[in-house]
Amino acid sequence: MATVSMDKINKVYENGFHAVKDIDMEVADGEFVVLVGPSGCGKTTTLRMVAGLEDITSGTLRIGGKEANDETPKERDIAMVFQNYALYPHMTVAENIGFALKLRHLPKDQIRAKVSEAAKILDLTEWLDRKPGQLSGGQRQRVAMGRAIVREPSVFLMDEPLSNLDAKLRVQMRAEVQRIQRRINVATIYVTHDQIEAMTMGDRVIVMRDGILQQVDTPQTLYDHPDNVFVAAFIGSPAMNLYDAVLGEDARSIKLGSQQVDLPDTVAIKRPALRSYIGKDVVVGMRPEHLRAAPPDYTGPTLIGNVELVEALGSELVVHFTIDANRVLAEGAVDKDEAAAVKDGEGVARVAAKTPVKPGDKLPFAVDIEDMQFFDTQTDLAIRD
Amino acid sequence: MGARTRKGWRKVINGVNLSAFIVVLFIGLPLYWLIISSFKTPAALGASPPQYWPNPWSGANYSQAFNQYNFGQYFINSVIVTLVATALVLIFGTMAGYALGRLPMRGKFTLMVTLLIISLFPEIAVIAPLYTLLKDLGWLNSYQALIVPYVAFNLPFAIWILRNYMLGIPKEMEETGRIDGAGPLRTVWSIIIPMALPGLFTAGIFCFTACWTEFLMALTFNSADSYKTIPVGVATFGTALEVPYGTIFAASVVAIVPIGILVFIFRKNIISGLTSGAVKG
């Protein structure tokens, strides 16, 4: 049971690569924090510095209030689950789970008791005598978890523990990991590149990019109020529609390509900083669910899109459309192949399942103005107050 | 299911099996001839037409090898030299293989290439300087006169095998060990070595066989009868006038038995050791 705090943590590799830059973060006791970001953003390096597998170049790491920079992994009393599980192939499940206890010279009957308790929590009792090679992916994953929880560590670290599982199992294990974390109730840092895992699992989510912390918030705040263009584009699936736009006179309208969308005055009242952008370029963000198919008698602000593709998901339609405004792609938020596949001015809307729409249509979307996001084109930061 | 039966019959006799059979025959026939000949009487050995099956069976060659000649002593010498050399090769090979495969080190590539070159040196090229060296050390006619050169000659190959094996062990295994609280020695002993076991078996069998059958150095460095190893001992059976083929055959059979047993016991491990690194897994 302990807290983890990082104060201006930096990691510079021998080759000069600055992987982690001035990270500040706090993880409270019992809290589940998810570190998320695209690959190469420094999230795993950060986790490994907490684990003691990577030296900290500068800054202070405290575990349970005590400076831990120079402590060995053993002294830090952490447990870690690796992406590939790293189970000892020559040991049985019971030996795998009990290895750390054996190294601490616990009496054999105590080890057995703790191992069987962990096995019960993880539903592994009948597999205790098997070797990892005889287990399925999900079972191996649970053994890796068991090895970590049996030690009753003060900090629990997980490095993409679900990424080797198939999609269906991953959903199950998401819930399972959360259940176990609640049960053992220790500070947990969970690294993933999957923003859905981040949203569904974390008490708080830390978004990283290029070694720099972007935003730390609860999943909902992150989703509703992203601090910058990167977070806006990275969190949410399908991703937020981001366009270059020009803010009209008195902040009462916004020009997206050749279309003008009227804004109620509440927009500028809620975001006083917006006034200084009048007549200037901004980046506008709209979540796909905030673009609905406008009914014929709709009088509110609309945006007309050329429908390119309609994906029927049963519960809703995902409509891909284009407008003649410039689509903003946040570098690193989507991978390169995906970015290359995005058409000029392409956007995505989620509309009701039975909406009559087909490719080639010009569909008017009702825009939920209140949920619109504005960003500075230079700094990429959200324009709020 | 008549069609199926014919298919089954075709399964047994086909090109692949036939060629394998020929290869086995090629290797197996001389071995068969060696074994049955060792049980023949001297008269039957030279019989024409040759006897394909000993008649009568005779154990005389075996008792002669052990009684008339000093074969028991040769056998013990071979066991001592081979076992000690193999053990040392595996100990040093594991440590060096781990260091070269795992630890951050400058000049790894150069070192590995140098090792490869050394392992390709012909024995004959270094035997004269080695002889004078051992003579100056006063080591001629001793176990270490063979053990030390054997270790030196077999170590490079063992290091290559073990290093490649270590490379195949994921780095996370050690990191997990560290987090579980294992020190470096404990990690190597409890995690790395068990995982590298097939590699150790492979290197061990190769080294054992090489030492067990080595002739040139054994002949040159240990000429005293009490330090002769099996290959040298058997080669010097008999006199200028008489070559006791039957006894030589019997001694040779005894000499190949340990290798046969080792390979049979560890066959699975050896094969997985030989194929490791072919497929990342």
In a 13 Å sphere around the CA of B10, the CA atoms on its Cβ side amount to 6
Identify the sign of the CA torsion A69, A71, A77, A80: positive
- C-alpha B247/C-alpha B41 separation (Å) is 10
Which pLDDT belongs to residue B150? 95
Give yes or no for a cis peptide into A238 (omega within 30° of 0).
Answer: yes
Q: How many CB atoms lie within 10 A of CB A232?
A: 28
Q: Does A147 touch chain B (CB under 8 A)?
A: yes
**% of chain A beyond a pLDDT of 70:** 98
Neighbours of B53 (CB within 10 A): 8
Strand-by-strand arrangement of the A212-217 sheet? A78-81, A155-159, A187-192, A32-36, A204-209, A212-217
Identify the contact set of chain B against chain A, taking CB-CB distances under 8 A.
170, 172-173, 175-176, 178-182, 186, 190-191, 194-195, 197
* pLDDT tens, N- to C-terminus, chain B (281 residues): 444 555 666 666 777 788 888 999 998 999 999 999 999 888 788 777 888 888 788 888 898 888 888 888 999 999 999 999 999 999 999 999 998 988 888 888 899 999 888 888 888 888 999 999 999 999 999 999 999 999 999 999 999 989 988 888 888 899 999 999 998 889 889 999 988 888 898 899 899 999 999 999 999 999 898 999 999 998 888 777 788 888 899 999 988 888 888 888 888 777 766 655 444 33
Sign of the alpha-carbon dihedral angle for A27, A33, A36, A39: positive
Q: Is the pLDDT of residue A225 over 90?
A: yes
Does A86 sit within 8 Å of B173, measured CB to CB? yes
Please tell me the distance from the alpha carbon of residue B99 to that of residue A69, in angstroms, as a whole number.
26
Determine the 3-state secondary structure of A84 from DSSP.
coil
Please name the residue of chain A whose CA is at the shortest distance from the CA of residue B175: A53
Quote the pTM value: 0.81
The residue extents of the domains of chain B are 2-60, 61-275
Q: What is the pLDDT of residue B9?
A: 67
Cis preceding-peptide flag for B56 (omega within 30 of 0): yes
3-state SS of chain B: helix, strand, coil percent to 5?
75, 0, 25
- Of the candidates B134, B177, B179, the one whose C-alpha atom is nearest the C-alpha of residue B152 is B134
Element (H, E) at A262: strand A259-262
Contacts of B194 in chain A (CB under 8 A): 88, 90
Residues of B in contact with A75 (CB under 8 A): none
Give the residue extent of every domain in chain A. 4-231, 238-376
Whether residue A280 is predicted with pLDDT greater than 70 in this model: the reply is yes
Using an 8 Å CB-CB cutoff, list chain B residues near A163: none
Of A80, A89, A151, the CB nearest to B195: A89
Closest residue, chain A, to B172 (C-alpha): A86
Question: Which residues of B fall within a CB distance of 8 Å from A80?
Answer: 175-176, 179
As assigned by CATH, the class of the B61-275 domain is mainly alpha
Q: Is the Cβ pair B175, A89 closer than 8 Å?
A: no
CB proximity A53 to B under 8 Å: yes
pLDDT at B7: 62
Give the residue-averaged pLDDT of A217-223.
Answer: 95
* Domain spanning A238-376: CATH superfamily: Nucleic acid-binding proteins (2.40.50.140)
Sequence-ordered alpha helix ranges (H) in B103-169: 108-120, 123-137, 144-167
Judged by CB atoms closer than 8 Å, whether chains meet at A88 and B197 is answered as no
| ipTM, 2 dp | 0.81
Q: Tokens representing B20?
A: 């394998």
- Enumerate residues 6+ apart whose C-beta is below 8 A from A298: A364, A366
A72/B180 touch (CB, cutoff 8 Å), yes or no? no
| Per-residue model confidence (pLDDT) at position B2 | 47
Tokens of A132: 């990892």
pLDDT of residue A42: 93
Residue count of chain A, please give it: 385
Q: Which residues contact A28 (CB under 8 A, 6 or more apart)?
A: A3, A187
What is the tens place of the pLDDT at every residue in A367-382? 999 899 999 999 999 9
Question: Which CATH number is associated with domain A4-231?
Answer: 3.40.50.300
